Amino acid sequence: MNPQDVWITFPELLVWFPLLAGLVCFLFKDNSKVKSWVLLVSIITLCISFVSLYFSDDAKYLALNKASYTLKYMNNGSFILGLDGMGRLLTLLTAFAFPIIFVATYNTPYKSAKNFYGLMLLAQSGLMGVFTAMDAMSFYFFWELALIPVYFLSSQWGGERRIQATFKFFVYTFAGSLLMLIGIIYVYLHTININGNGHSFALYAFAGVRLNPTEQNWLFWLFFIAFAIKMPIFPFHTWQPDAYEQAPTATTMVLSGIMVKMGLFACLRWLLPIFPQATIKFDTIIIGLSVIGMLYASIIALKQDDLKRLVAYSSIAHIGLMCAGIFTKTEVGLQGVMLQMFCHGINIIGLWIVIELIERQTGVRKISQLGGVAHKAPILTILLVVIALANIALPLTNAFIGEFMLFNGLFAFNKWYAVAAGISIILAAVYTLNMIQKVFYGEENSITTAIKEIALHEKIILSVVVVLIFMMGVYPQPMINLTKGTVEALMLKFN
Amino acid sequence: MDNVLQMVWLIPLLPLIGFLINGLGRNSLSKRMSGIIGSGVILFSFLLSLYVFFNVKGGNSHLAHYFNLIDINSFTIGFDFQIDPLSSLFLLIITGVGFLIHVYSTAYMHEEDGKDYAKYFAYLNLFVFSMLLLVMGGNYVILFIGWEGVGLCSYLLIGYWFKNVNYTNAAKKAFVMNRIGDLGFLLAVFWLLNKLGTTNFTDVFANLSKLSTTDITGITLLLFVGAIGKSAQIPLFTWLPDAMAGPTPVSALIHAATMVTAGIYMIARSNVLYNLAPLTQEIIMWIGLATALLAATIALKQNDIKKVLAYSTVSQLGFMFLALGTGNYIAAVFHVMTHAFFKALLFLGSGSVIHGMHHEQDINNMGGLKSKMKITYITFFIGCLAIAGIPPLSGFFSKDSILIGAYEHNKIVYSIALFTACLTAFYMFRLLFITFNGKFRGTEKQWNHVHESPAAMTVPLIILAILSAIAGFVNTPALFGGTESLTHFLSPVIQQTHQTTLSHATEYMLMGGAVVLILAVISWAYFKFKNYEPKEESSAFGKILENKWYVDELYNSILVKPLQAIAAFFNTIVEKKGIDGMVNGVGKAVNYGSRQIRLLQSGQIGNYVLLMVLGILVLFIIQLFF
Amino acid sequence: MEIRWYIGLAVALFSIGVMGVLTRRNAIIVFMCIELMLNAVNLLLVAFSKMHALSPVGLTNPSVVSNAQIFVFFIMVVAAAEVAVGLAIIVMMYRNTHVVDINFLNRLKN
């Protein structure tokens, strides 16, 4: 297929469609119709993402998967969007997440809903952009574009301490981004354009840049700190529990399900290919930090009473494992990260949905105040138990495959790191089962007697999550094949 | 030609279907239907297993590869099943005993609501499915999937009555302790994958020469850690007695007959690996022995009918590990089989008593039940004889082969094991006499309600009693003119390092001595407990035993409490004040600094001009002198 | 006369102006002091241009001389414009507040 036969490409569709649809939201007069509109838009996006999987053969359909705009005023700078295996995986996750979020929060009332949903779609567009960006400029652009709607969503529709939490979240991540911007400009000035004139922001130019070891070292940290804050890994994580707790749940789902994957994704897309030597040099430190973070977050999770904070700390532990997996630089570790990014996104969104449903019915998120939900809502309980077990990586659930590969990579890197990290899976069982026991089992109390079984569409959407969990837990191979090429390309940098 | 064993995938599939029907249709199925579906699928699995067993006995075996679970360049992990003598034997035990317990459950659980009844059978079927995966798995990963699956079902079934906080606590404890073991197991799998790039049993055992001694010792020790968790050995045994919170048939199936023997299965399966790790074997032997002894002493003083059986199970598992540690794998597997029969029988018998007494479990409130519960009494008695090791019941043969193996390995080990066997006889008969002999110690109302259980419960008891009595003959030692058919059957997959070298005279003497000792102990127990009256105070040592050597309290104070304290410290001090304090500190510093600098903007023109002049002067000075 | 006398006078005038601006609070006097500083600079410019007019630099390059004097005129024009605006502000200030104290109008503070 020739480029001139193609009038629009998949990455463009995935990025610009939600953006335009989001802008349309602001024009709505009626707040009730906007829900149906965003649901429709997100489902269409999901379909586009599905169709793009079919056209994944780059040999035949490269023209469909790559779009570049030339910017005349920027010294012929380019703006490149493209889909590769990892990009497909994460755009698929993003496309999956939004319909799930919209259905799950269908009954949640939001004031000035059109603005809320408009911003949600803008966030989706930003995220899609991050995952399809193939040059540093568009990457930075979308990186920030994804942040801004989330800032407004949290600060306008969040909980009591939303201003403080959101401000911290914004300033923290933004400070990191600025460090990255410095790094991007520095690398840009050292690139050699293929034509021999001027510099280039393109990924291939960045990956081919020649830097001496000292430059690599400090540039590595400039980039890494930005990504580490976004993930977040210990000790850059403190914005996260506050932000998760204070943001409206729909936004929390976006934040934890997809946005934190931006940090991991960015490590794989930018950090490893541009700075391979520095990556090898600092791997022990970073894996060490990740493992400490896993244990630390798991231990703290034992003491959390707020469901959202519990899930937040659990998420920090999981992200720590994924980050460690990246820096093992083993095939199995990298493959595990790819798979686990997707699985973790699905699982944690499932957890948030359950928390949202409980909070909407009782108005309470404190574990100590809940109890006996299993009598009142058995189906909700069953679905939650499955999702929670997936969260602690029980076999035949999706997370098992991912964590199995991650631990394997970690073990290949260093046995003792794997042992230390393994302790966190025991702790994960402790806090997860504690939560199930206190919230769902036991006798019901005055707060939980009011709980009713969840509505049909909520059952369906949670069942979708559960089915996904089992499907990928039993037969993950399609997902693995999707990212095989990306992993092999990355491995070439280290062999 | 296609192998007839290609249909083995049906064996685990049937319970899975049963689980799905019972689980999804729990609101619409009648109790009768859920019971029939639940038991029926297991019956079919059992029939298939029988077929498979005889096929394997005829010399057939089968390696099935269905699809790849993980397929990357570094390694491939397939969804594989392996059918050989060892797994076919376990298939029989699991589905056979499992079926009887399902039938028993239909009557035992009849008081439950239709929904909960279906849920119970769904969980039970899921358990059988996981257990079948465990024994049929053709590599360590499939084994592990079953391994965690049975742990999950155990968790769900222990916490079946989830309104009770104690029960859910017990369920949680079981799961977490199993998880500790599972971590060891997983690490062993990673180790194997890293060194060999495969987890298939056949490939691993064929490539052992690629592993160093350190590797083998490490891997076997880590696998053993997994077995410690699952099979309730020191130091992770405390979950099993607590697991008695679940319904009694669950205790019989999961916590006596099948799941807890998974550790033995796994080590017997990896026997080639263990034969190369004498250090690990030694450790296994001592841990098994210590567990057997410790649990037996605790069982002496327990008054809950199920707790006695639970500690007895721990103790018998200890015996099995002792056999594994002495390289006597077949004896261990043999004991797994006989133990499955008689311990299931004893648990179901205790369930029958509990059922007849309307959920009374304290043996202090029982007594003289034999007149009202004839079948239960007789079958329970047979079970006690079997576990005590009275010839010619099954326990005699299996335990005897373990003891002889121990004798050849180490005389001290043998004498401790023999002592433990005597303790076993003592506490089992204490339980029997206190429960069924003497006079009734409960209230009159209770006595009037005591009744024999329905046929759905007594028939399984009778079948199990028969099996307990005769199962020993599958491996009659040559000593009694037997053919040791089990040994021959298992020999293709198990490299027994232990070979009897004793003369027949020594063997006769050892056996005779043991039997006489045990009979003496039983008669002592009879005179001591035939007219038992509960006493209030007991000796200092008795107190320690009653409190289970304070192991739970010890773990609580050295593990749980410090962990909670660390968590609290991290949560309030390190996280809030330390790390977050630092992050917020940066913000606060900027805030404070700007507030200070803002004071320069006084609004007085004079000040501004003065500053300007000073600035110009400074610039001048710099210009002039530097 | 030697150039240093001119410089001395200009420095003295300039310093008086600076001190006046720094210490006085009457807006009109501050204003006059600013004028004084400007004129000190003017004086210097004129003196130097005169000096350079006879030097080799000035002879070869006459624009050096004329530039400085043009600059003086420029400053005088700016000063005149400034006086016009400044006095107008001071008059408005006096009308509104009836004081010409510069520290009185400090609402920007805090």
We report the CATH number of the domain holding residue C50 as 1.10.287.3510
Structure tokens at B534: 């509960």
- B603 and C CB contact within 8 Å: yes
Peptide bond into B562 cis (omega under 30): no
Q: What is the DSSP letter of C101?
A: B
In the predicted model, what is the mean pLDDT of residues B424-450? 87
Report which of residues B299 and B601 the model is more confident about: B299
Instruction: Reduce the secondary structure of B401-441 to three states and give it as a string.
Output: HHHHHHHHHCHHHHHHHHHHHHHHHHHHHHHHHHHHCCCCC
**B64 inside domain:** no
- Could you tell me the pLDDT band of residue B1, with boundaries at 50, 70 and 90? very low
**CA gap B131, B141 in Å, rounded:** 14
Please tell me whether residues A268 and A352 are part of one structural domain.
no
Report the 10 Å Cβ neighbour count for C57: 13
Are residues B505 and B587 located together in one domain of the fold? Answer: no
Is residue A154 within 8 A of residue A162, CB to CB? The reply is yes
**Structural domain containing residue C8:** 3-104
| Contact present, B76 and B68 (Cβ < 8 Å) | yes
pLDDT at B321: 94
Q: Is B67 helix (H, G, I), strand (E, B) or coil?
A: strand
Contact C106 B604 (CB under 8 A): yes
Domain that holds residue A339: 332-495
Q: Please indicate if any CB of chain B lies within 8 Å of the CB of C90.
A: no
Pair (B330, B432) in one structural domain: yes
Is residue B33 situated within a structural domain? Answer: no
CA distance A231 to A266: 10
How far is the alpha carbon of A259 from chain B, nearest alpha carbon, in Å? 21
High-pLDDT (> 90) share of chain C, %:
41
The pLDDT tens digits for A212-254 are 899 999 999 999 999 999 988 888 888 998 899 899 989 999 9
User: Going by C-beta distance under 8 Å and a sequence separation of 6 or more, which residues neighbour residue A222?
Assistant: A179, A180, A182, A183, A186
Instruction: Give first-to-last CA distance, chain A, whole Å.
Output: 34
**CA distances, A309 to each of A313, A437, A462, A465, B577 (Å):** 6, 17, 21, 22, 17
Q: Is residue A317 situated within a structural domain?
A: no
Query: Given this model, what pLDDT does residue B536 score?
Result: 64
pLDDT at B310 over 90: yes
Percent of chain A with pLDDT over 90: 53
Say whether B361 sits in a helix, a strand or coil: coil
* Domain assignment present for C94: yes
- Please report which helix (H) or strand (E) contains residue B79, including its range: strand B76-83
Q: What is the 3-state secondary structure (H, E, C) of B81-114?
A: EEECHHHHHHHHHHHHHHHHHHHHHHHHCCCCCH
**CB-based contact (8 Å) between B595 and chain C?**
no
Range of the domain at B358: 302-546
Rg of chain B on CA atoms, in Å: 31
Which residues neighbour A257 within 8 Å (Cβ) at sequence distance 6 or greater? A93, A97, A345, A346, A348, A349, A352
| Judgement on whether residues A170 and A250 belong to the same structural domain of the protein | yes
Last residue of a domain, one of B546, B574, B595: B546
- Given B490, B524, B546, the domain boundary residue is B546
Q: Are residues B323 and B461 in the same domain?
A: yes
State pLDDT tens for residues C33-42.
999 999 999 9
Q: What is the mean pLDDT of chain A?
A: 89
Q: B478 and B396: one domain?
A: yes
**Cβ(A361)–Cβ(B29) under 8 Å?**
no
Question: Residues A388, A458: one domain?
Answer: yes
Instruction: Count residue pairs from A and B with Cβ separation < 8 A.
Output: 131
B7: left (phi over 0), alpha (psi -120 to 50) or beta: alpha
Provide the β-strand partners of residue B230.
none
Give the tens place of pLDDT for each residue, B385-422: 999 988 888 989 899 889 988 988 888 999 999 999 99
Q: What is the C-alpha to C-alpha distance for residues C9 and C36, in angstroms, rounded to an integer?
A: 12
Evaluate whether residue B213 is within a structural domain.
Answer: no
Q: Are B532 and B591 in the same domain?
A: no
* Whole-number Cα distances in Å, B174 to B164, B237, B354: 16, 9, 23
Q: Which chains touch C (3 or more CB pairs under 8 A)?
A: B
Same domain, B540 and B576: no
Residues 6+ apart with CB under 8 A from B87: B135, B136
> How sure is the predictor about A342, in pLDDT bands with cuts at 50, 70 and 90?
very high
Kindly state whether residues B427 and B365 are assigned to the same domain. Answer: yes
Yes or no, beta carbons of A238 and B583 under 8 Å apart: yes
pLDDT confidence band for A194 (50 / 70 / 90): low
Q: Average pLDDT of B472-479?
A: 81
Query: Quick one: A118 and A243 in the same domain?
Result: yes
Q: How many domains does chain C have?
A: 1
Instruction: Judge whether A474 lies within some domain.
Output: yes
User: Does the distance separating the beta carbons of B575 and A238 come in below 8 Å?
Assistant: yes
Are residues B152 and A475, on separate chains, in Cβ contact within 8 Å?
A: no
Residue B573 counted as domain residue:
yes
DSSP-derived letter for residue C102 is G
- Please indicate if any CB of chain C lies within 8 Å of the CB of B616: no
Tens-place pLDDT, residues B313-349:
999 999 999 999 998 899 999 999 999 999 999 999 9
- The gap from C-alpha B337 to its chain's centroid, in whole angstroms, comes to 15
Nearest partner of A398 among A325, A323, A330, A477, judged by Cα = A477
* Whether the Cβ atoms of residue B355 and residue B396 lie closer than 8 Å to each other: no
- Environment class of residue B288 by beta-carbon count within 10 Å: exposed (0-12), middle (13-18) or buried (19+)? buried
Please tell me the distance in Å from A30's CA to the nearest CA on chain B: 40
Q: Is residue C54 part of a domain?
A: yes
Nearest CA in chain A to B576: A238
B124: in domain: no
Whether B273 has a pLDDT exceeding 70, the answer reads yes
What is the distance in angstroms between the Cα of A106 and the nearest Cα belonging to chain B? 26
B518 & B575 share domain: no
Domain annotation covers residue A284: no
Question: Considering the domain boundaries, does residue A315 fall inside one?
Answer: no
Contact status, residue B168 vs residue A441, Cβ threshold 8 Å: yes
Same domain, B479 and B578: no
> Are both B339 and B404 inside the same structural domain?
yes
Q: In this model, does residue B48 exceed pLDDT 70?
A: yes
Radius of gyration of chain A (CA): 22
- pLDDT, tens only, B508-517: 888 888 889 9
In a domain, A325, yes or no: no
Tell me which residue of A291, A231, A237 sits closest to A264, measured CA to CA: A231
* Calpha distance B546→B540 (Å, rounded): 10
The rounded distance, in Å, linking the Cα atoms of A46 and B74 is 32
Q: Tell me if chain C has a CB within 8 Å of the CB of B614.
A: no
C109 inside domain = no
Highest mean pLDDT among B113-117, B533-537, B603-607, C44-48: C44-48
Same domain (yes/no): A76, A187: yes
The structural domain count of chain B equals 2
B93 confidence band (pLDDT: 50, 70, 90): very high
Whether the predicted pLDDT of B111 surpasses 60: yes
End-to-end, the C-alpha distance of chain B in Å comes to: 99
For residues B264 and B321, the answer to whether their CB atoms sit within 8 Å is yes
Residues of B whose CB is below 8 A from A487: 72
Q: In terms of domains, do B523 and B566 share one? A: no
Q: How confident is the model at residue A74 (pLDDT cuts 50, 70, 90)?
A: low
B288, B346 in Cβ contact below 8 A?
no
CA-CA distance, A119 to A248, in Å (whole number)?
13
**Contact (CB<8Å) B567/A394:** no
Predicted confidence (pLDDT) at residue A108 exceeds the cutoff of 90: no
**Residue whose C-alpha is closest to residue B181's, from B232, B256, B143, B146:** B232
How many other CB atoms sit within 10 Å of the CB of residue A218? 13
Q: Which residue has the tokens 């200009």?
A: C10
State the DSSP code for B212.
-
Alpha-carbon gap, residue B259 to B271, rounded angstroms: 19
User: Which residue type, as a one-letter code, is found at position B54?
Assistant: F
| Same structural domain, B437 and B577 | no
Packed helices A378-391 and A331-362: angle between N→C axes, nearest 10 degrees: 150
* pLDDT in the model for residue B123: 93
DSSP letter at B254 equals: I
Q: Is residue B236 part of a domain?
A: no
Q: Note whether residue A312 is domain-resident.
A: no
Residues A336, A201 within the same domain? no
pLDDT of B495 strictly over 90? no
B1 touches chain A (CB under 8 A): no
Q: CA nearest A270: which of A280, A282, A262, A281?
A: A262
Number of domains in chain A: 2
CB proximity B602 to C under 8 Å: yes
Q: Is residue B85 part of a domain?
A: no
Contact B606 C110 (CB under 8 A): no
pLDDT at position B224: 95
Residue C110 located in a structural domain: no
